[in-house]
């Protein structure tokens, strides 16, 4: 790109030497130290991706399943002539919910209380684990049925309950359902919360969680506080969008909805734990808050060409279960970009836009990635010594601020490049721009740039402004 | 009609044949082409890499240069057209610069095939190109500008050109600007699949509306000595014989 053409322009104050730092400029010394000490390192995207790419078998499987998922969802979506209108409605419903999130959450809390349930608030993952553990202890005899789901994975709940000495029964396991019958307390996730009725909705493919919702005496539902919608009518749209975009189903095979506790019917005690865990931080970001529209369908991962090749792990450096393109925006928004793994995620994309095209609630994921790249760069501007990349990009901007400087840089870059080329091709670039020429040649720039040709051809137009 | 030609900085320095092709094509169709000499870079690379302050400076500069030139702006770079048409609004908002937002909204910028098909209403531009050709719908052309089948309609009207469909064409080639070096391993894995699809078509030439993507695909083809060359679509449309 531009930097490759920029070359060692004597006027620009930057050159090949600076370009050499382009990639490794962000290598954290803390990460190097931890590695040297043999301590676990949370990998940056590029490192984890390199490992994932080396697993050819997994790559093949990923490609096959991604292709199948794309076909299924494309078919399910094309059945609906009003799909685009539904997407627009879905985005508007989620935006309306987020605009007055505090109001809707209070309404929800009141409605749950009126229906005989209790709402708990968890600021972060560890608070969620503490609250759930204490509810489980209060309710049971040490056995707890757990139906795993995204929020449970995000907060590390199942593992933490086991670590606290509780017998965790996996409701989704093969022997799950029978043993769940015996458990007096169950923990599940939740997909949506309806504020005006205090209803919790859970959508499933296999019905594993359904037994948890009816049989135990005490039910603990854990939900992200972003998943509230103002009223029941909103579900009409979301229940059409989620299954079709996510798994290519016309309907979710199992939709469970319950409001509070009804005597003699299902659990006598119902708790809803609302988890923040970075969501309030996302909401405070005027551009980034669009990410909270997410309804967790996974459509963005299914179409992502990067995800197709590297899978979940590189997108989810801390194992929170939120991966793919939405994970690459959600995690840095929720946790900040001060640390290298989070700061690497917004760059894990070619900005190809496939994800934005399929998102059922029209989240502009590429736009959010660019926004976060800006946050990463701005955070680095305050460093006492500028990163090599910042120096290069400033140099390029300075060069481009004047047409003559640009032409001078083009000329000197072309002279350098021709020294490195053979038969019009550059097969090896020095330093870290060598990452390009590891597998790709570069065309040697021509002796005459376009603007020189233009002047030669039409001298009378030289003054055209 | 008078057209202000915007040649992307990469095209100016690395692929001058594309700007020459647009000039000769539009002149052949009877239009006047001017090249505002102060133009440099639209700021896309800075914006997409996170350098919003620098991007805003370049965007202001671009808007000033082309507002001064007046009239319709045409560019052979789909991604630069998309940057000006859709990213400038975000750049202006991030910079808190409503003046830039207004200036950007006042610019009338077309990617070449949009200009030919929508504004001039032509699909047969009188070209001849006796080759087997496949078209790569690059991400910004397909998903940011949504040029759709305009390039294909233009290609179908080229005399002696055999057009073959590229399988999985709308999948990204893995270039992505700084992505190609920041995440070189993934980028290379993506372009390897793209090149495999290109070779499967048996085409002599792969064309697109963005030279940066073509440099990526062409770089991999060249490394493999695949015997397939790249050409910007403008160069095919400008051709009246065998340019080899």
Give pLDDT tens digits for A339-357.
999 999 999 999 999 999 9
Per the domain annotation, does A302 fall within a domain?
A: yes
Per the domain annotation, does A375 fall within a domain?
A: yes
SS3 A205: coil
pLDDT (tens digit per residue) in B182-234: 999 999 999 999 999 999 999 999 999 999 999 999 999 999 999 999 999 99
Work out the minimum CA distance from A97 to partner chain B, whole angstroms. 24
Query: What proportion of chain B, given as a percentage, has pLDDT over 90?
Result: 98
Per the domain annotation, does A445 fall within a domain?
A: yes
Say whether both A265 and A290 belong to one domain.
Answer: no
- Out of A365, A381, A397, pick the residue that ends a domain: A381
Residues 94-133 of B with CB under 8 A from A: 94
DSSP string covering A395-445, please? Answer: HHHHHHTSHHHHHHHHHHHHHHHHHH-BTTEE---SGGGHHHHTT--EEPP
Chain A residues touching residue B7 (CB < 8 angstroms): 450-451
Say whether both A182 and A221 belong to one domain.
Answer: yes
CATH number at residue A194: 3.40.50.10420
Note the pLDDT of residue A461. 52
- Start-end of CATH 3.40.50 domains in chain B: 2-119, 132-238
Work out the minimum CA distance from B208 to partner chain A, whole angstroms. 15
Chain A residues touching residue B37 (CB < 8 angstroms): 403, 451, 454, 462-465
B218/A348 touch (CB, cutoff 8 Å), yes or no:
no
**CB distance from A438 to chain B under 8 Å?**
yes
Rounded distance between C-alpha atoms, residue A16 and residue A422, angstroms: 19
B181/A348 touch (CB, cutoff 8 Å), yes or no:
no
Element (H, E) at B45: helix B44-49
Structure tokens, A252: 């979710």
pLDDT (tens digit per residue) in B29-67: 999 999 999 999 999 999 999 999 999 999 999 999 999
ipTM of the complex: 0.97
Q: Is pLDDT above 60 for A465? A: no
Q: Which of A22, A310, A443 sits opposite B14 (nearest CB)?
A: A443
Q: Is pLDDT above 60 for A170? A: yes
CATH for B132-238 (3.40.50, 3.90.320, 1.20.120, 1.10.3470): 3.40.50
Give chain B's mean pLDDT. 96
User: In the predicted model, what is the mean pLDDT of residues A196-204?
Assistant: 95
Q: Is pLDDT above 70 for A234? A: yes
Rounded distance between C-alpha atoms, residue A177 and residue A200, angstroms: 21
Between A32-46, A125-139, A308-322, A400-414, the lowest mean confidence (pLDDT) is in: A32-46
pLDDT (tens digit per residue) in A1-47: 333 333 333 333 333 333 434 434 444 556 667 677 776 689 999 99
pLDDT (tens digit per residue) in B117-145: 999 999 999 999 999 999 999 999 999 99
pLDDT (tens digit per residue) in A38-94: 766 899 999 999 999 999 888 888 889 888 999 999 999 999 999 999 999 999 999
Per the domain annotation, does A37 fall within a domain?
A: no
Say whether both A272 and A289 belong to one domain.
Answer: no
Say whether both A375 and A432 belong to one domain.
Answer: no
Q: Which of B179, B185, B218 sits opposite A53 (nearest CB)?
A: B185
Work out the minimum CA distance from B158 to partner chain A, whole angstroms. 25
Work out the minimum CA distance from A366 to partner chain B, whole angstroms. 9
Residues 215-244 of B with CB under 8 A from A: 215-216, 218-220, 222-223
Q: Is pLDDT above 50 for B18? A: yes
Residues 360-419 of A with CB under 8 A from B: 367, 370-378, 390, 393-394, 396-397, 400-403, 406, 410, 413-414
Per the domain annotation, does A33 fall within a domain?
A: no
Interface test with B, best of A59, A440, A443 (most B CBs within 10 A): A440
User: In the predicted model, what is the mean pLDDT of residues B165-186?
Assistant: 96
A464/B35 touch (CB, cutoff 8 Å), yes or no:
yes
Residues 6 or more apart whose CB falls under 8 angstroms from that of A135 comprise A120, A185, A218, A220, A271, A273
Residue of A nearest to B18 (CA): A450
| Count of other CB atoms within 10 angstroms of residue A192 | 23
Say whether both A120 and A153 belong to one domain.
Answer: yes
Highest mean pLDDT: which range of A173-177, A434-438, B145-149 = B145-149
Structure tokens, A12: 């620009």
- Out of A364, A381, A398, pick the residue that ends a domain: A381
Say whether both A47 and A119 belong to one domain.
Answer: no
Q: Which of B13, B51, B179 sits opposite A377 (nearest CB)?
A: B51
User: In the predicted model, what is the mean pLDDT of residues A301-324?
Assistant: 94
Largest CA distance in chain A: 92
Residue A459 pLDDT level (bands cut at 50, 70, 90) = low
Work out the minimum CA distance from B160 to partner chain A, whole angstroms. 28
Per the domain annotation, does A27 fall within a domain?
A: no
Q: Is pLDDT above 50 for A402? A: yes
Per the domain annotation, does A31 fall within a domain?
A: no
Residues 6 or more apart whose CB falls under 8 angstroms from that of A368 comprise A287, A288, A290, A291, A329, A333
Say whether both A178 and A254 belong to one domain.
Answer: yes
Rounded distance between C-alpha atoms, residue B9 and residue A384, angstroms: 31
CATH number of B2-119: 3.40.50
- Out of A361, A381, A401, pick the residue that ends a domain: A381
Structure tokens, B21: 């092709």
Say whether both A188 and A288 belong to one domain.
Answer: no
B193 near B162, Cβ under 8 Å?
A: no
Note the pLDDT of residue A8. 35
CA torsion, ordered A28, A34, A37, A39, to nearest 10 deg: -150
B40/A402 touch (CB, cutoff 8 Å), yes or no:
yes
Structure tokens, B80: 């630069």
Rounded distance between C-alpha atoms, residue A231 and residue A381, angstroms: 45
Structure tokens, A132: 């759930």
Count of domains for chain A: 3
Say whether both A399 and A326 belong to one domain.
Answer: no
Say whether both A258 and A122 belong to one domain.
Answer: yes
**CB distance from A439 to chain B under 8 Å?**
yes
Note the pLDDT of residue A423. 85
| Count of other CB atoms within 10 angstroms of residue A363 | 23
Say whether both A285 and A181 belong to one domain.
Answer: no
Domain enclosing residue A315, as ranges: 42-71+281-381
CATH number at residue A56: 1.10.1060
Rounded distance between C-alpha atoms, residue B228 and residue B209, angstroms: 17
| Count of other CB atoms within 10 angstroms of residue B218 | 26
Per the domain annotation, does A170 fall within a domain?
A: yes
Phi, psi of A31 (to 5 degrees): -65, -40
User: In the predicted model, what is the mean pLDDT of residues B94-113?
Assistant: 96
Number of Cβ pairs closer than 8 Å across A and B? 229
Q: Is pLDDT above 90 for A457? A: no
Share in percent of chain B as helix, strand, coil (round to 5) = 55, 15, 35
Say whether both A330 and A396 belong to one domain.
Answer: no
């Amino acid at each position: 790109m531009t930097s490759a053409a920029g070359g060692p322009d004597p006027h620009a104050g930057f050159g090949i030497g600076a370009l050499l730092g382009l990639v490794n400029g962000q290598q954290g010394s803390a990460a190097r130290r931890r590695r040297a000490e043999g301590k676990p390192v949370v990998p940056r995207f590029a490192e984890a991706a390199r490992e994932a790419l080396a697993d050819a078998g997994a790559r093949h499987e990923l490609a096959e399943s991604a292709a199948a998922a794309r076909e299924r969802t494309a078919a399910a979506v094309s059945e609906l002539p009003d799909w685009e209108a539904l997407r627009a409605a879905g985005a508007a419903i989620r935006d309306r919910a987020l605009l007055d999130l505090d109001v809707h959450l209070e309404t929800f809390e009141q409605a749950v209380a009126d229906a005989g349930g209790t709402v708990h608030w968890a600021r972060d993952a560890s608070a969620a684990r503490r609250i759930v553990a204490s509810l489980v202890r209060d309710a049971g005899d040490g056995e707890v049925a757990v139906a795993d789901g995204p929020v449970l994975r995000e907060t590390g709940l199942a593992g933490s309950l086991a670590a606290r000495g509780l017998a965790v029964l996996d409701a989704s396991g093969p022997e799950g359902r029978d043993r769940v019958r015996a458990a007096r307390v169950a923990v599940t996730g939740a997909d949506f919360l309806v504020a005006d009725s205090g209803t919790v909705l859970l959508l499933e493919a296999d019905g594993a969680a359904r037994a948890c919702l009816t049989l135990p005496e005490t039910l603990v539902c854990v939900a992200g506080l972003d998943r509230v919608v103002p009223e029941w009518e909103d579900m009409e749209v979301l229940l059409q969008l989620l299954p079709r975009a996510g798994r290519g189903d016309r309907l979710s095979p199992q939709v469970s909805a319950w409001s509070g506790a009804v005597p003699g019917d299902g659990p006598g005690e119902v708790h809803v734990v609302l988890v923040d865990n970075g969501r309030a931080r996302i909401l405070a970001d005027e551009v980034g808050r669009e990410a909270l529209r997410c309804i967790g369908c996974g459509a963005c991962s299914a179409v992502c060409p990067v995800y197709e090749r590297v899978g979940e792990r590189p997108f989810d450096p801390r194992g929170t279960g939120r991966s793919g393109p939405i994970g690459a925006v959600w995690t840095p928004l929720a946790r900040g970009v001060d640390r290298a793994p989070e700061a690497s995620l917004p760059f894990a994309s070619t900005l190809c836009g496939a994800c934005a095209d399929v998102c059922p609630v029209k989240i502009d994921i590429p736009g959010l990635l660019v926004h976060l790249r800006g946050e990463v760069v701005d955070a680095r501007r305050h460093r006492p010594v500028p990163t090599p990349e910042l120096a290069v990009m400033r140099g390029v901007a300075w060069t481009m601020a004047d047409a003559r400087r640009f032409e001078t840089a083009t000329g000197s870059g072309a002279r350098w490049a021709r020294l490195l080329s053979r038969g019009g091709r550059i097969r090896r670039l020095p330093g870290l721009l060598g990452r390009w020429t590891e597998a790709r040649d570069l065309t040697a720039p021509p002796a005459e740039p376009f603007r020189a040709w233009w002047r030669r051809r039409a001298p009378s137009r030289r003054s055209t402004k | 009609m008078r057209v202000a030609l915007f040649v992307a900085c990469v095209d100016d320095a690395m692929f001058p044949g594309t700007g020459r092709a647009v000039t000769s094509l539009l002149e052949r169709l009877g239009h006047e082409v001017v090249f505002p000499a102060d133009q440099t870079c639209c700021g896309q690379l800075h914006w997409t890499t996170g350098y919003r302050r620098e991007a805003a400076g370049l965007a202001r500069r671009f808007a000033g240069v082309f507002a001064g030139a007046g009239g319709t702006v045409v560019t052979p770079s789909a991604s630069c057209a998309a940057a000006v048409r859709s990213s400038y609004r975000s750049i202006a908002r991030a910079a808190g610069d409503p003046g830039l937002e207004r200036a950007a909204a006042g610019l009338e910028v077309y990617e070449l095939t949009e200009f030919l098909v929508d504004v001039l209403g032509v699909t047969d531009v009188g070209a001849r190109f006796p080759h087997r050709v496949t078209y790569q719908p690059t991400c910004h052309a397909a998903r940011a500008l949504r040029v759709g089948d305009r390039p294909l309609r233009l290609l179908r009207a080229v005399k002696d050109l055999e057009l073959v469909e590229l399988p999985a064409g709308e999948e990204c080639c893995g270039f992505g600007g700084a992505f190609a070096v920041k995440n070189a391993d993934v980028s290379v894995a993506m372009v390897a699949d793209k090149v495999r699809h290109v070779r499967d078509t048996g085409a002599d030439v792969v064309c697109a509306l963005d030279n940066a993507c073509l440099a990526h695909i062409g770089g991999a083809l060249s490394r493999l000595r695949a015997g397939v060359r790249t050409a910007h679509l403008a160069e095919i449309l400008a051709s009246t014989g065998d340019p080899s």
